[in-house]
Chains A and B, each alone.
Chain A
Amino acid sequence: MGVAVSIQQLVKYFGSLRALDGVSLEIAEGEFFGLLGPNGAGKTTLISCLAGLVRPDQGQLSVMGYDVHGDYREARRRLGVVPQELVFDPFFSVRETLRIQSGYFGIRNNDAWIDEILENLDLTAKANVNMRRLSGGMKRRVLVAQALVHKPPVIVLDEPTAGVDVELRQGLWQFVQRLNREGHTVILTTHYLEEAEALCGRIAMLKQGRVVALDTTSNLLARVPGHTLNLRLANAASLPLALRARATQNEGCWIFRLAGFDEIEHLLAEIRVAGGVIEDLRLTQADLEDVFVAVMQGAEAREQAVSR
Protein backbone atom coordinates (compact mmCIF):
# COMPACT_ATOMS: atom_id res chain seq x y z
CA MET A 1 0.00 0.00 0.00
CA GLY A 2 1.25 3.45 -0.87
CA VAL A 3 1.39 6.54 1.27
CA ALA A 4 -1.82 8.56 1.26
CA VAL A 5 -0.67 11.49 3.33
CA SER A 6 2.85 12.46 4.24
CA ILE A 7 3.64 15.24 6.67
CA GLN A 8 7.27 16.07 7.38
CA GLN A 9 8.55 18.44 10.07
CA LEU A 10 5.55 20.71 9.82
CA VAL A 11 5.88 24.04 11.66
CA LYS A 12 3.30 26.79 11.72
CA TYR A 13 3.37 30.01 13.70
CA PHE A 14 0.42 32.30 14.33
CA GLY A 15 2.28 35.41 15.44
CA SER A 16 4.45 34.14 18.27
CA LEU A 17 2.25 31.11 18.93
CA ARG A 18 3.74 27.90 17.63
CA ALA A 19 0.54 26.15 16.61
CA LEU A 20 2.42 23.26 14.97
CA ASP A 21 5.79 22.37 16.37
CA GLY A 22 7.49 19.94 14.02
CA VAL A 23 4.75 17.43 13.25
CA SER A 24 5.68 14.39 11.16
CA LEU A 25 3.11 11.78 10.22
CA GLU A 26 2.72 9.23 7.51
CA ILE A 27 -0.69 7.76 6.77
CA ALA A 28 -0.99 4.78 4.48
CA GLU A 29 -3.59 4.30 1.79
CA GLY A 30 -6.73 2.71 3.13
CA GLU A 31 -6.12 3.62 6.77
CA PHE A 32 -8.81 4.91 9.11
CA PHE A 33 -6.70 7.34 11.06
CA GLY A 34 -7.61 9.28 14.19
CA LEU A 35 -6.21 12.68 15.07
CA LEU A 36 -6.93 13.43 18.70
CA GLY A 37 -5.98 16.17 21.09
CA PRO A 38 -7.40 18.78 23.44
CA ASN A 39 -8.82 22.10 22.20
CA GLY A 40 -6.11 24.18 20.60
CA ALA A 41 -3.76 21.23 20.08
CA GLY A 42 -3.39 22.10 16.40
CA LYS A 43 -5.60 19.48 14.73
CA THR A 44 -7.52 21.93 12.57
CA THR A 45 -4.33 23.82 11.74
CA LEU A 46 -2.74 20.57 10.59
CA ILE A 47 -5.72 19.75 8.40
CA SER A 48 -5.77 23.28 7.00
CA CYS A 49 -2.11 22.98 6.04
CA LEU A 50 -2.89 19.75 4.25
CA ALA A 51 -5.76 21.43 2.40
CA GLY A 52 -3.70 24.47 1.45
CA LEU A 53 -5.88 26.82 3.51
CA VAL A 54 -2.99 27.59 5.84
CA ARG A 55 0.57 28.10 4.64
CA PRO A 56 3.10 26.35 6.82
CA ASP A 57 6.30 28.10 7.85
CA GLN A 58 8.31 24.91 7.44
CA GLY A 59 7.84 21.34 6.35
CA GLN A 60 6.61 19.21 3.50
CA LEU A 61 3.11 17.93 2.88
CA SER A 62 1.83 15.63 0.23
CA VAL A 63 -1.45 13.92 -0.64
CA MET A 64 -1.23 10.68 -2.63
CA GLY A 65 2.30 11.64 -3.56
CA TYR A 66 1.45 15.13 -4.81
CA ASP A 67 3.03 18.09 -3.06
CA VAL A 68 0.35 20.26 -1.48
CA HIS A 69 2.07 23.45 -2.59
CA GLY A 70 3.92 22.63 -5.81
CA ASP A 71 1.36 20.21 -7.23
CA TYR A 72 -1.66 21.81 -5.63
CA ARG A 73 -4.13 20.92 -8.37
CA GLU A 74 -3.41 17.21 -8.21
CA ALA A 75 -3.19 17.23 -4.41
CA ARG A 76 -6.51 19.03 -3.95
CA ARG A 77 -8.30 16.81 -6.43
CA ARG A 78 -7.46 13.89 -4.14
CA LEU A 79 -8.51 15.47 -0.89
CA GLY A 80 -11.97 16.04 0.56
CA VAL A 81 -12.22 18.08 3.74
CA VAL A 82 -15.20 18.44 6.05
CA PRO A 83 -14.43 21.64 7.93
CA GLN A 84 -14.99 22.01 11.64
CA GLU A 85 -16.84 25.31 11.34
CA LEU A 86 -20.46 25.15 10.24
CA VAL A 87 -20.22 27.18 7.04
CA PHE A 88 -22.61 27.41 4.11
CA ASP A 89 -23.44 29.60 1.14
CA PRO A 90 -26.86 31.10 1.83
CA PHE A 91 -27.71 31.74 -1.82
CA PHE A 92 -28.11 28.17 -2.94
CA SER A 93 -30.13 25.04 -2.39
CA VAL A 94 -28.52 21.78 -1.29
CA ARG A 95 -28.43 20.39 -4.81
CA GLU A 96 -27.12 23.62 -6.32
CA THR A 97 -24.40 23.69 -3.68
CA LEU A 98 -23.33 20.15 -4.56
CA ARG A 99 -23.49 20.73 -8.31
CA ILE A 100 -21.40 23.86 -8.01
CA GLN A 101 -18.89 22.08 -5.80
CA SER A 102 -18.64 19.30 -8.42
CA GLY A 103 -18.02 21.89 -11.11
CA TYR A 104 -15.10 23.36 -9.16
CA PHE A 105 -13.46 19.97 -9.47
CA GLY A 106 -14.21 19.80 -13.16
CA ILE A 107 -17.02 17.26 -12.81
CA ARG A 108 -20.19 17.82 -14.79
CA ASN A 109 -23.32 15.68 -14.75
CA ASN A 110 -22.53 14.40 -11.29
CA ASP A 111 -26.18 13.89 -10.33
CA ALA A 112 -26.07 10.12 -9.93
CA TRP A 113 -23.30 10.33 -7.34
CA ILE A 114 -24.87 13.41 -5.73
CA ASP A 115 -28.13 11.48 -5.33
CA GLU A 116 -26.29 8.61 -3.74
CA ILE A 117 -24.55 10.89 -1.27
CA LEU A 118 -27.83 12.61 -0.42
CA GLU A 119 -29.47 9.25 0.12
CA ASN A 120 -26.71 8.04 2.42
CA LEU A 121 -26.71 11.24 4.45
CA ASP A 122 -30.49 11.25 4.66
CA LEU A 123 -30.74 14.55 2.80
CA THR A 124 -32.86 13.49 -0.18
CA ALA A 125 -35.94 15.25 1.15
CA LYS A 126 -33.97 18.47 1.55
CA ALA A 127 -32.28 18.44 -1.86
CA ASN A 128 -34.11 21.48 -3.16
CA VAL A 129 -34.27 23.42 0.07
CA ASN A 130 -32.21 26.57 0.49
CA MET A 131 -29.19 26.15 2.77
CA ARG A 132 -30.49 28.86 5.07
CA ARG A 133 -33.54 26.77 5.91
CA LEU A 134 -31.62 23.74 7.14
CA SER A 135 -31.06 22.91 10.79
CA GLY A 136 -27.52 22.92 12.15
CA GLY A 137 -27.12 19.16 11.92
CA MET A 138 -28.39 19.14 8.34
CA LYS A 139 -25.96 21.87 7.37
CA ARG A 140 -23.21 19.68 8.74
CA ARG A 141 -24.40 16.79 6.60
CA VAL A 142 -24.20 19.02 3.53
CA LEU A 143 -20.61 19.83 4.48
CA VAL A 144 -19.90 16.12 4.49
CA ALA A 145 -21.62 15.78 1.12
CA GLN A 146 -19.61 18.67 -0.32
CA ALA A 147 -16.37 17.02 0.71
CA LEU A 148 -17.34 13.86 -1.16
CA VAL A 149 -18.61 15.18 -4.52
CA HIS A 150 -15.32 14.44 -6.26
CA LYS A 151 -14.84 11.00 -4.67
CA PRO A 152 -11.54 11.97 -3.09
CA PRO A 153 -9.17 9.10 -2.23
CA VAL A 154 -8.37 10.90 1.04
CA ILE A 155 -11.23 12.11 3.21
CA VAL A 156 -10.58 14.35 6.20
CA LEU A 157 -13.34 14.87 8.73
CA ASP A 158 -12.77 17.61 11.31
CA GLU A 159 -15.25 16.85 14.10
CA PRO A 160 -18.03 15.78 11.74
CA THR A 161 -20.34 14.57 14.47
CA ALA A 162 -20.46 17.73 16.61
CA GLY A 163 -24.13 18.64 16.89
CA VAL A 164 -25.35 15.69 14.85
CA ASP A 165 -28.11 13.41 16.11
CA VAL A 166 -27.59 9.76 17.04
CA GLU A 167 -29.28 8.35 13.97
CA LEU A 168 -27.22 10.32 11.52
CA ARG A 169 -24.07 9.72 13.48
CA GLN A 170 -24.57 6.02 12.93
CA GLY A 171 -25.59 6.53 9.32
CA LEU A 172 -22.57 8.71 8.74
CA TRP A 173 -20.18 6.17 10.22
CA GLN A 174 -21.68 3.39 8.16
CA PHE A 175 -21.23 5.48 5.04
CA VAL A 176 -17.68 6.51 5.91
CA GLN A 177 -16.75 2.95 6.84
CA ARG A 178 -18.09 1.77 3.52
CA LEU A 179 -15.96 4.36 1.72
CA ASN A 180 -13.00 3.23 3.81
CA ARG A 181 -13.63 -0.41 2.84
CA GLU A 182 -13.77 0.66 -0.80
CA GLY A 183 -10.25 2.03 -0.41
CA HIS A 184 -10.65 5.64 0.66
CA THR A 185 -8.26 6.79 3.33
CA VAL A 186 -10.08 8.45 6.20
CA ILE A 187 -8.63 10.92 8.69
CA LEU A 188 -10.86 11.82 11.58
CA THR A 189 -10.69 14.25 14.44
CA THR A 190 -13.22 14.02 17.20
CA HIS A 191 -13.63 14.69 20.89
CA TYR A 192 -15.86 11.62 21.23
CA LEU A 193 -13.15 9.14 22.09
CA GLU A 194 -15.40 6.11 21.98
CA GLU A 195 -16.00 6.95 18.29
CA ALA A 196 -12.29 7.08 17.64
CA GLU A 197 -11.77 3.85 19.56
CA ALA A 198 -14.41 2.03 17.56
CA LEU A 199 -13.43 3.36 14.13
CA CYS A 200 -9.75 4.17 13.92
CA GLY A 201 -7.07 1.61 13.27
CA ARG A 202 -4.32 4.03 14.19
CA ILE A 203 -4.30 7.18 16.24
CA ALA A 204 -2.05 10.21 16.68
CA MET A 205 -2.45 12.34 19.77
CA LEU A 206 -1.49 15.96 19.47
CA LYS A 207 -0.72 18.38 22.25
CA GLN A 208 0.43 21.96 21.81
CA GLY A 209 1.38 21.32 18.23
CA ARG A 210 3.39 18.17 18.91
CA VAL A 211 2.66 14.50 18.37
CA VAL A 212 2.73 12.98 21.86
CA ALA A 213 1.49 9.51 20.90
CA LEU A 214 1.31 7.63 17.63
CA ASP A 215 0.31 4.00 17.53
CA THR A 216 -2.36 1.51 16.58
CA THR A 217 -5.50 1.80 18.64
CA SER A 218 -5.00 -1.62 20.21
CA ASN A 219 -1.43 -0.82 21.23
CA LEU A 220 -2.58 2.43 22.76
CA LEU A 221 -5.30 0.66 24.71
CA ALA A 222 -2.74 -1.82 25.99
CA ARG A 223 -0.74 1.01 27.47
CA VAL A 224 -3.14 1.34 30.38
CA PRO A 225 -3.30 -2.20 31.69
CA GLY A 226 -5.80 -3.90 33.93
CA HIS A 227 -9.32 -3.22 34.93
CA THR A 228 -11.26 -0.90 37.16
CA LEU A 229 -13.69 -2.19 39.76
CA ASN A 230 -16.46 0.11 40.94
CA LEU A 231 -18.15 -0.90 44.21
CA ARG A 232 -21.05 0.56 46.06
CA LEU A 233 -21.52 -0.68 49.63
CA ALA A 234 -24.72 -0.59 51.65
CA ASN A 235 -22.92 1.47 54.28
CA ALA A 236 -19.78 3.19 53.15
CA ALA A 237 -18.10 2.79 56.53
CA SER A 238 -17.96 -0.98 56.21
CA LEU A 239 -14.92 -0.97 53.92
CA PRO A 240 -12.01 -2.37 55.92
CA LEU A 241 -9.36 0.24 56.70
CA ALA A 242 -6.72 -1.92 55.09
CA LEU A 243 -8.54 -1.69 51.77
CA ARG A 244 -9.25 2.03 51.91
CA ALA A 245 -5.65 2.84 51.20
CA ARG A 246 -5.90 1.04 47.85
CA ALA A 247 -9.13 2.65 46.76
CA THR A 248 -10.31 6.03 45.65
CA GLN A 249 -13.77 7.28 46.45
CA ASN A 250 -16.05 8.86 43.92
CA GLU A 251 -19.71 9.78 44.45
CA GLY A 252 -20.18 7.12 47.10
CA CYS A 253 -18.39 4.47 45.04
CA TRP A 254 -15.10 2.83 45.86
CA ILE A 255 -12.85 2.47 42.85
CA PHE A 256 -10.05 -0.10 42.67
CA ARG A 257 -7.52 -0.46 39.93
CA LEU A 258 -6.74 -4.13 39.39
CA ALA A 259 -3.84 -5.72 37.61
CA GLY A 260 -5.62 -9.06 37.14
CA PHE A 261 -8.88 -10.88 37.71
CA ASP A 262 -7.55 -12.96 40.61
CA GLU A 263 -7.44 -9.82 42.76
CA ILE A 264 -11.22 -9.57 42.64
CA GLU A 265 -11.79 -12.70 44.64
CA HIS A 266 -9.52 -11.64 47.51
CA LEU A 267 -11.04 -8.20 47.55
CA LEU A 268 -14.61 -9.43 47.78
CA ALA A 269 -13.69 -11.97 50.45
CA GLU A 270 -12.12 -9.30 52.61
CA ILE A 271 -15.20 -7.12 52.32
CA ARG A 272 -17.49 -10.02 53.22
CA VAL A 273 -15.39 -10.83 56.28
CA ALA A 274 -15.60 -7.22 57.42
CA GLY A 275 -19.38 -7.42 57.13
CA GLY A 276 -19.71 -5.21 54.05
CA VAL A 277 -22.80 -5.60 51.88
CA ILE A 278 -22.34 -4.94 48.18
CA GLU A 279 -25.10 -2.92 46.57
CA ASP A 280 -23.65 -2.47 43.11
CA LEU A 281 -20.59 -3.70 41.27
CA ARG A 282 -19.13 -2.77 37.90
CA LEU A 283 -16.01 -3.97 36.16
CA THR A 284 -14.67 -1.81 33.35
CA GLN A 285 -11.76 -2.10 31.00
CA ALA A 286 -9.41 0.79 30.31
CA ASP A 287 -10.71 2.77 27.34
CA LEU A 288 -9.26 5.35 25.02
CA GLU A 289 -10.24 8.09 27.41
CA ASP A 290 -7.98 6.60 30.10
CA VAL A 291 -5.19 6.36 27.56
CA PHE A 292 -5.80 9.92 26.43
CA VAL A 293 -5.65 11.24 29.98
CA ALA A 294 -2.54 9.22 30.73
CA VAL A 295 -0.78 10.38 27.55
CA MET A 296 -1.65 14.04 28.14
CA GLN A 297 -0.49 13.87 31.76
CA GLY A 298 2.67 12.08 30.70
CA ALA A 299 3.39 14.79 28.14
CA GLU A 300 2.86 17.45 30.78
CA ALA A 301 5.16 15.72 33.26
CA ARG A 302 7.89 15.41 30.63
CA GLU A 303 7.54 19.05 29.78
CA GLN A 304 7.91 20.07 33.40
CA ALA A 305 10.91 17.82 33.78
CA VAL A 306 12.53 19.44 30.77
CA SER A 307 11.81 22.97 31.90
CA ARG A 308 13.25 22.34 35.37
Chain B
Amino acid sequence: MSGFRTLLYKEVLRFWKVSFQTVAAPVLTALLYLLIFSHVLDAQVQVHNVRYAAFLIPGLVMMSVLQNAFANSSSSLIQSKVMGSVIFILLPPISYVEFFLAYVVAAMLRGLMVGLGVLVVTGWFASLSFVAPGWILVFAIIGGGIMGSLGMIAGIWADKFDQLSGFQNFLIMPLTMLSGVFYSIHSLPVFWQRVSHFNPVFYMIDGFRFGFFGVSDVAPATSLAVVAVSFLVVALTTLALLRSGYKLRY
Protein backbone atom coordinates (compact mmCIF):
# COMPACT_ATOMS: atom_id res chain seq x y z
CA MET B 1 0.00 0.00 0.00
CA SER B 2 2.98 2.36 -0.12
CA GLY B 3 1.84 3.53 -3.54
CA PHE B 4 -1.41 4.59 -1.92
CA ARG B 5 0.35 6.36 0.94
CA THR B 6 2.63 8.34 -1.32
CA LEU B 7 -0.12 9.21 -3.75
CA LEU B 8 -2.30 10.40 -0.87
CA TYR B 9 0.60 12.43 0.52
CA LYS B 10 1.21 13.96 -2.91
CA GLU B 11 -2.45 14.86 -3.37
CA VAL B 12 -2.69 16.48 0.06
CA LEU B 13 0.60 18.33 -0.42
CA ARG B 14 -0.65 19.56 -3.79
CA PHE B 15 -3.68 21.36 -2.39
CA TRP B 16 -1.93 22.34 0.82
CA LYS B 17 0.78 24.20 -1.09
CA VAL B 18 -1.86 26.41 -2.62
CA SER B 19 -4.12 26.42 0.43
CA PHE B 20 -4.84 30.09 0.01
CA GLN B 21 -6.89 29.24 -3.08
CA THR B 22 -7.98 25.75 -2.10
CA VAL B 23 -8.94 26.28 1.54
CA ALA B 24 -9.01 29.96 2.49
CA ALA B 25 -10.87 31.18 -0.59
CA PRO B 26 -13.87 28.81 -0.28
CA VAL B 27 -14.13 29.62 3.43
CA LEU B 28 -14.37 33.29 2.56
CA THR B 29 -17.00 32.58 -0.11
CA ALA B 30 -19.16 30.71 2.41
CA LEU B 31 -18.77 33.51 4.90
CA LEU B 32 -19.99 36.02 2.32
CA TYR B 33 -23.06 33.86 1.61
CA LEU B 34 -23.82 33.80 5.30
CA LEU B 35 -23.37 37.52 5.80
CA ILE B 36 -25.57 38.44 2.85
CA PHE B 37 -28.38 35.95 3.38
CA SER B 38 -28.58 36.26 7.12
CA HIS B 39 -28.49 40.04 6.88
CA VAL B 40 -31.52 39.92 4.61
CA LEU B 41 -33.43 37.05 6.19
CA ASP B 42 -32.33 36.35 9.75
CA ALA B 43 -34.88 38.60 11.41
CA GLN B 44 -37.88 37.40 9.37
CA VAL B 45 -37.33 33.73 8.74
CA GLN B 46 -37.29 30.67 10.93
CA VAL B 47 -36.85 27.13 9.63
CA HIS B 48 -37.41 24.03 11.75
CA ASN B 49 -37.88 26.49 14.62
CA VAL B 50 -34.33 27.79 14.37
CA ARG B 51 -33.28 31.23 13.22
CA TYR B 52 -32.32 31.46 9.58
CA ALA B 53 -28.59 32.07 10.15
CA ALA B 54 -28.34 29.00 12.35
CA PHE B 55 -30.30 26.97 9.79
CA LEU B 56 -28.11 28.16 6.94
CA ILE B 57 -24.70 27.43 8.50
CA PRO B 58 -24.78 23.60 8.35
CA GLY B 59 -25.97 23.83 4.75
CA LEU B 60 -23.11 26.13 3.85
CA VAL B 61 -20.62 23.87 5.64
CA MET B 62 -21.83 20.79 3.79
CA MET B 63 -21.97 22.62 0.47
CA SER B 64 -18.34 23.62 0.98
CA VAL B 65 -17.36 20.06 1.84
CA LEU B 66 -19.04 18.75 -1.31
CA GLN B 67 -17.86 21.38 -3.76
CA ASN B 68 -14.27 21.27 -2.56
CA ALA B 69 -14.08 17.51 -2.55
CA PHE B 70 -15.26 17.56 -6.15
CA ALA B 71 -12.90 20.38 -7.09
CA ASN B 72 -9.89 18.63 -5.58
CA SER B 73 -9.93 15.35 -7.43
CA SER B 74 -11.28 16.76 -10.68
CA SER B 75 -8.81 19.63 -10.98
CA SER B 76 -5.87 17.50 -9.92
CA LEU B 77 -6.65 14.91 -12.57
CA ILE B 78 -7.37 17.26 -15.44
CA GLN B 79 -4.30 19.29 -14.62
CA SER B 80 -1.99 16.30 -14.66
CA LYS B 81 -3.63 15.03 -17.84
CA VAL B 82 -3.23 18.35 -19.64
CA MET B 83 0.31 18.81 -18.35
CA GLY B 84 1.18 15.20 -19.14
CA SER B 85 2.47 14.58 -15.62
CA VAL B 86 -0.20 11.91 -15.16
CA ILE B 87 2.35 9.44 -16.53
CA PHE B 88 4.27 9.72 -13.26
CA ILE B 89 1.45 7.87 -11.55
CA LEU B 90 0.74 5.56 -14.49
CA LEU B 91 4.28 4.22 -14.76
CA PRO B 92 4.74 2.95 -11.17
CA PRO B 93 3.18 -0.26 -9.84
CA ILE B 94 0.12 1.44 -8.37
CA SER B 95 -3.12 -0.53 -8.59
CA TYR B 96 -6.34 1.14 -9.68
CA VAL B 97 -7.79 0.59 -6.21
CA GLU B 98 -4.90 2.46 -4.59
CA PHE B 99 -5.29 5.19 -7.21
CA PHE B 100 -8.99 5.51 -6.38
CA LEU B 101 -8.53 5.51 -2.61
CA ALA B 102 -5.72 8.07 -2.64
CA TYR B 103 -7.64 10.58 -4.74
CA VAL B 104 -10.92 10.12 -2.88
CA VAL B 105 -9.37 10.34 0.58
CA ALA B 106 -7.41 13.47 -0.41
CA ALA B 107 -10.60 15.02 -1.77
CA MET B 108 -12.43 14.16 1.46
CA LEU B 109 -9.66 15.69 3.53
CA ARG B 110 -9.77 18.92 1.57
CA GLY B 111 -13.58 18.98 1.81
CA LEU B 112 -13.50 18.37 5.56
CA MET B 113 -10.80 20.96 6.07
CA VAL B 114 -12.76 23.62 4.23
CA GLY B 115 -15.95 22.54 5.99
CA LEU B 116 -14.31 22.87 9.36
CA GLY B 117 -12.98 26.29 8.35
CA VAL B 118 -16.45 27.42 7.34
CA LEU B 119 -17.92 26.11 10.59
CA VAL B 120 -15.35 27.92 12.70
CA VAL B 121 -15.70 31.21 10.86
CA THR B 122 -19.48 31.25 10.54
CA GLY B 123 -20.06 29.82 14.01
CA TRP B 124 -19.53 33.29 15.45
CA PHE B 125 -22.69 34.54 13.81
CA ALA B 126 -25.23 32.18 15.32
CA SER B 127 -25.58 29.87 18.25
CA LEU B 128 -25.34 26.33 16.90
CA SER B 129 -26.22 23.11 18.62
CA PHE B 130 -24.61 19.74 17.94
CA VAL B 131 -27.34 17.30 18.82
CA ALA B 132 -25.85 14.25 17.10
CA PRO B 133 -22.22 14.74 16.08
CA GLY B 134 -22.01 11.16 14.79
CA TRP B 135 -24.46 11.95 11.99
CA ILE B 136 -22.56 15.12 11.18
CA LEU B 137 -19.34 13.18 10.65
CA VAL B 138 -20.90 10.29 8.78
CA PHE B 139 -22.64 12.52 6.26
CA ALA B 140 -19.64 14.80 5.81
CA ILE B 141 -17.33 11.84 5.17
CA ILE B 142 -19.59 9.93 2.80
CA GLY B 143 -20.67 13.12 1.05
CA GLY B 144 -17.05 14.09 0.53
CA GLY B 145 -16.37 10.58 -0.75
CA ILE B 146 -19.19 10.77 -3.28
CA MET B 147 -18.06 14.13 -4.59
CA GLY B 148 -14.38 13.18 -4.59
CA SER B 149 -15.26 10.12 -6.60
CA LEU B 150 -17.52 12.09 -8.95
CA GLY B 151 -14.64 14.53 -9.37
CA MET B 152 -12.45 11.65 -10.48
CA ILE B 153 -14.99 10.64 -13.10
CA ALA B 154 -15.21 14.22 -14.35
CA GLY B 155 -11.42 14.62 -14.35
CA ILE B 156 -10.91 11.37 -16.23
CA TRP B 157 -13.66 12.09 -18.75
CA ALA B 158 -12.78 15.73 -19.51
CA ASP B 159 -10.02 16.42 -22.03
CA LYS B 160 -10.02 20.16 -21.50
CA PHE B 161 -10.62 22.57 -18.65
CA ASP B 162 -13.82 23.95 -20.19
CA GLN B 163 -15.37 20.50 -20.35
CA LEU B 164 -14.67 20.17 -16.66
CA SER B 165 -16.20 23.53 -15.82
CA GLY B 166 -19.23 22.47 -17.88
CA PHE B 167 -19.58 19.40 -15.68
CA GLN B 168 -19.19 21.61 -12.61
CA ASN B 169 -21.57 24.38 -13.73
CA PHE B 170 -24.32 22.24 -15.22
CA LEU B 171 -24.32 19.31 -12.83
CA ILE B 172 -22.57 19.91 -9.53
CA MET B 173 -23.65 23.51 -8.96
CA PRO B 174 -27.38 22.96 -9.65
CA LEU B 175 -27.43 19.77 -7.60
CA THR B 176 -25.87 21.47 -4.59
CA MET B 177 -27.67 24.80 -4.92
CA LEU B 178 -31.07 23.11 -5.30
CA SER B 179 -30.54 20.67 -2.48
CA GLY B 180 -31.94 22.70 0.37
CA VAL B 181 -28.80 24.50 1.47
CA PHE B 182 -30.67 27.80 1.55
CA TYR B 183 -34.18 26.59 2.37
CA SER B 184 -36.14 23.68 3.74
CA ILE B 185 -37.78 21.83 0.90
CA HIS B 186 -41.06 21.94 2.85
CA SER B 187 -41.27 25.56 1.79
CA LEU B 188 -41.35 24.45 -1.87
CA PRO B 189 -44.41 23.65 -4.01
CA VAL B 190 -45.24 19.95 -3.92
CA PHE B 191 -43.92 19.32 -7.42
CA TRP B 192 -40.48 20.71 -6.58
CA GLN B 193 -40.46 18.85 -3.28
CA ARG B 194 -40.86 15.65 -5.29
CA VAL B 195 -38.11 16.65 -7.69
CA SER B 196 -35.81 17.39 -4.78
CA HIS B 197 -36.22 13.83 -3.56
CA PHE B 198 -34.41 12.64 -6.69
CA ASN B 199 -31.39 14.75 -5.82
CA PRO B 200 -28.93 12.74 -3.73
CA VAL B 201 -27.31 15.94 -2.50
CA PHE B 202 -30.57 16.84 -0.78
CA TYR B 203 -30.15 13.78 1.46
CA MET B 204 -26.54 14.64 2.23
CA ILE B 205 -27.48 18.14 3.37
CA ASP B 206 -30.59 17.05 5.18
CA GLY B 207 -28.86 14.28 7.10
CA PHE B 208 -25.92 16.51 7.89
CA ARG B 209 -28.23 19.20 9.23
CA PHE B 210 -30.04 16.64 11.39
CA GLY B 211 -26.80 16.17 13.28
CA PHE B 212 -26.96 19.79 14.37
CA PHE B 213 -30.64 20.34 15.17
CA GLY B 214 -32.10 16.88 15.48
CA VAL B 215 -34.80 17.88 12.98
CA SER B 216 -34.86 17.18 9.28
CA ASP B 217 -37.13 16.88 6.25
CA VAL B 218 -36.42 13.14 5.95
CA ALA B 219 -35.46 10.59 8.61
CA PRO B 220 -31.64 10.51 8.87
CA ALA B 221 -31.52 6.73 8.48
CA THR B 222 -33.34 7.06 5.14
CA SER B 223 -30.89 9.75 4.07
CA LEU B 224 -27.98 7.58 5.10
CA ALA B 225 -29.31 4.71 3.01
CA VAL B 226 -29.67 6.93 -0.06
CA VAL B 227 -26.25 8.47 0.45
CA ALA B 228 -24.55 5.11 1.03
CA VAL B 229 -26.09 3.64 -2.11
CA SER B 230 -25.08 6.75 -4.08
CA PHE B 231 -21.53 6.36 -2.86
CA LEU B 232 -21.46 2.73 -3.87
CA VAL B 233 -22.74 3.50 -7.36
CA VAL B 234 -20.32 6.36 -7.95
CA ALA B 235 -17.37 4.49 -6.44
CA LEU B 236 -17.98 1.35 -8.48
CA THR B 237 -18.32 3.43 -11.64
CA THR B 238 -15.05 5.20 -10.91
CA LEU B 239 -13.29 1.92 -10.17
CA ALA B 240 -14.59 0.43 -13.40
CA LEU B 241 -13.29 3.44 -15.37
CA LEU B 242 -9.89 3.22 -13.72
CA ARG B 243 -9.70 -0.50 -14.26
CA SER B 244 -10.47 -0.17 -17.95
CA GLY B 245 -7.88 2.59 -18.33
CA TYR B 246 -10.51 4.81 -19.95
CA LYS B 247 -8.83 8.00 -21.25
CA LEU B 248 -5.77 7.30 -19.12
CA ARG B 249 -4.16 4.34 -20.85
CA TYR B 250 -4.77 4.37 -24.59
* A interface, CB within 8 angstroms of B: 14, 48, 51-55, 72-74, 76-77, 79, 81, 83, 85, 87-92, 96, 100-101, 103-106, 108, 146, 150
Contacts and interface: CB of A to CB of B under 8 A. Distances in A.
B88 interface: yes
Interface residues of B, number: 27
Nearest to A101: B88
Central interface residue in A96, A106, A150, by most chain B CB within 10 Å: A106
Nearest to B93: A73
B130 interface: no
Interface stretch (B7-15, B54-62, B140-148, B212-220): B7-15
B15 to A, nearest CB: 9
Contacts of B250: 14, 48, 53-55
A108 B92 contact: no
Contacts of B245: 55
Interface of B: 2-3, 5-7, 9-10, 13-14, 17-18, 80, 83-85, 87-95, 245, 249-250
Given A54-B249, A55-B250, A103-B2, A87 B92 contact: no
B5 to A, nearest CB: 7
23 contacts: A14-B250, A48-B250, A52-B249, A74-B93, A76-B92, A83-B87, A85-B84, A91-B14, A91-B17, A91-B18, A100-B10, A101-B92, A103-B2, A103-B5, A103-B9, A103-B10, A104-B88, A104-B92, A105-B92, A105-B93, A106-B2, A108-B2, A146-B88
A87 B83 contact: yes
A89 B91 contact: no
Contacts of A106: 2-3, 93
Nearest to A51: B91
A237 to B, nearest CB: 57
Contacts of B10: 100, 103
Contacts of A87: 83-85, 87-88
Given A85-B84, A91-B17, 12 more contacts: A53-B90, A54-B249, A72-B93, A87-B84, A87-B87, A90-B83, A100-B9, A101-B88, A103-B9, A104-B3, A105-B92, A146-B88
A185 B98 CA distance: 30
Contacts of B9: 100, 103
A87 B86 CA distance: 9
A76 B80 contact: no
Contact of B83 (A51, A52, A89): A89
Nearest to A73: B93
Nearest to B76: A91
A85 B66 CA distance: 35
B195 to A, nearest CB: 41
A89 B85 CA distance: 6
Q: Which 7 A-B pairs have the closest CB atoms?
A: A103-B6, A87-B84, A104-B92, A73-B93, A106-B2, A89-B85, A76-B93
Contacts of A105: 3, 92-93
Contacts of A53: 87, 90-91, 249-250
Central interface residue in B14, B80, B92, B245, by most chain A CB within 10 Å: B92
Contacts of B5: 103
A279 B89 CA distance: 60
A91 B13 contact: yes
Nearest to A52: B249
Contacts of B94: 104
A85 B95 CA distance: 24
Contacts of A91: 13-14, 17-18
Contacts of A48: 250
A178 B241 CA distance: 41
A89 B6 CA distance: 15
A104 B84 contact: no
A194 B136 CA distance: 67
B139 to A, nearest CB: 31
A53 to B, nearest CB: 6
Contacts of A74: 93
A92 B85 CA distance: 12
A209 B205 CA distance: 55
A106 B3 CA distance: 6
Nearest to A86: B84
A104 B89 contact: yes
Contacts of B84: 83, 85, 87
B111 to A, nearest CB: 19
Contacts of B83: 87-90
A88 B82 CA distance: 11
B90 A52 contact: yes
